[in-house]
Amino acid sequence: MKSMRLVQKVIVAVLTAVLIGQPALALSRVKDLVSVEGIRDNALIGYGLVVGLNGSGDSLKNAPFTQQSIQTMLERMGVNTRGSTMQTKNTAAVMVTAKLSSFAANGTTVDVAVSAMGDAKSLQGGTLLVTTLFGADGQIYALAQGPVSTGGFSAQGDAGSVTRGVPTSGRVPNGAIVEREIGFNLAAEHSLKLSLRNPDLTTASRIATAVNSFIGTPVAIVSDPATVRLDVPADYRGGVVALLTDIEQVKVTADQTARVVINESTGVIVMGSDVRISTVAIAQGNLTIKVTETPEVSQPGPLSSGTTQVVPRTKIDVDESKGKKMVMMREGVSLQSLVDGLNALGVGPRDIISILQAIKASGALQADIQVIG
């Protein structure tokens, strides 16, 4: 009996070790990998006025468009200000933007972003007046109005000032009311396109295979690395909406191209796990000369006629990086080996950027380098 329990414990331990030793697959939902053609946001834009600012608005002398907008608004309300000199600083001209989804119904609300156009110092405490928001087709889709919420502030005195964040931009939560719907009848569609957020032929093929295996019939076909066409079976219960709901939760292992992303302005480096390099030798070293001035004060002796003198003392250190040696990278090394090798040289992120670019130029880096920033 004891021997049987011992055997069971050994089997459990072996299976646990095997399972832990296996690499975990990065499974992602189809919902997170693709977007459905036709289900998208639409950009809206408008021009308006923010009023109620505490002297932090546009100076009308430098922003004539603000004065023209104020005069036009007042004329609509029966107030004639043509020919008069306006000096108010409580108003700012702004651009108003918003995103309208495909299924936003009349009367629903969306958030809007407000950004100053003139020389206003801050939009804090202001109220956006009624602003029409237009789509790319020139039609009015929403009306925006409401108090502006800013994430920054600005304060100043006679001898200094302080600014936190960006006080010249803000948001109006639920500030726009939808007046026109975007016509898209999803339930009437019989064929849709799934657009990959990161186009890749292997990922597209895996999505089509997983969807067909889940449904049981070949409903998904790969059109190109960025598109999977989905045909809705005529007898599928619930139609296209039910089909999309079902396949959204299907798990797929996404593939990716070996890529090194470099931000030269911040020194950030991101490397994918599939980055490989051929056999290459790397050496890095810089000549650094450090000059330190430590002047000393020389005091004359008692009862002497001498004067106090400042005696210069200069120390020069030369670092030729003699301790840094050449490192050999073997054929097809992994990302971890590459990082360990570069760290062994004692180099920083900005030097690593130069090394990676040099490896790519030599043809030894099997990956794309994308420089941003």
Can you tell me the distance from the alpha carbon of 41 to that of 43, in angstroms, rounded to the nearest whole number? 7
Q: Rounded mean pLDDT of 131-136?
A: 94
pLDDT given at position 188: 81
pLDDT given at position 177: 96
Can you tell me the distance from the alpha carbon of 37 to that of 35, in angstroms, rounded to the nearest whole number? 6
Q: Rounded mean pLDDT of 220-225?
A: 93
- Quickly state the pLDDT bin for 160 (edges 50, 70, 90): low
DSSP class per residue in 188-221:
G-SEEEEEESS--HHHHHHHHHHHHHHHSS--EE
Can you tell me the distance from the alpha carbon of 209 to that of 204, in angstroms, rounded to the nearest whole number? 9
Among 30, 10, 12, residue whose Cα is nearest residue 20: 12
Can you tell me the distance from the alpha carbon of 283 to that of 346, in angstroms, rounded to the nearest whole number? 11
pLDDT of residue 5 exceeding 60, the answer is no
Sheet of 34-36, strands arranged across: 34-36, 191-196, 227-231, 220-224
pLDDT given at position 256: 80
Of 86 and 253, which is predicted with more confidence?
253
Q: Which residues contact 364 (CB under 8 A, 6 or more apart)?
A: 277, 278, 279, 280, 329
- Cα 82-86-90 angle, rounded to 5 deg: 130
Instruction: Show the tokens assigned to 166.
Output: 């960006």
Domain range annotation of the chain: 42-178, 186-253, 260-294+312-372
Containing H/E element for 98? Answer: strand 91-101
- Core vs surface per residue 5-23: b (16+ CB within 10 A) or e: eeeeeeeeeeeeeeeeeee
pLDDT given at position 3: 46
Q: Which residues contact 161 (CB under 8 A, 6 or more apart)?
A: 154, 155
Can you tell me the distance from the alpha carbon of 114 to that of 96, in angstroms, rounded to the nearest whole number? 5
pLDDT of residue 20 exceeding 50, the answer is no
Q: Give the pLDDT confidence of 231-269 residue by residue, as tens digits.
A: 988 888 888 888 898 899 999 998 888 888 888 777 777
Weakest-pLDDT range from 106-110, 127-131, 280-284: 280-284
pLDDT of residue 23 exceeding 90, the answer is no
pLDDT of residue 290 exceeding 70, the answer is no
Locate tokens 């960006």: which residue? 166
pLDDT of residue 154 exceeding 70, the answer is no
C-alpha dihedral (173, 176, 181, 184), degrees to nearest 10: -30
pLDDT of residue 140 exceeding 90, the answer is yes
Weakest-pLDDT range from 182-196, 212-226, 274-288: 274-288
- Quickly state the pLDDT bin for 226 (edges 50, 70, 90): very high
Q: Which residues contact 80 (CB under 8 A, 6 or more apart)?
A: 74
Q: Give the pLDDT confidence of 348-369 residue by residue, as tens digits.
A: 777 777 777 787 787 777 788 8
Of 213 and 340, which is predicted with more confidence?
213
* Mean pLDDT over the full length of the chain: 79
Q: Rounded mean pLDDT of 71-100?
A: 87
Q: Give the pLDDT confidence of 297-346 residue by residue, as tens digits.
A: 667 767 666 677 766 776 656 555 555 555 555 555 665 666 666 676 66
Which pTM does this prediction carry? 0.63
Contact 215, 53 (CB under 8 A): no
pLDDT given at position 153: 62
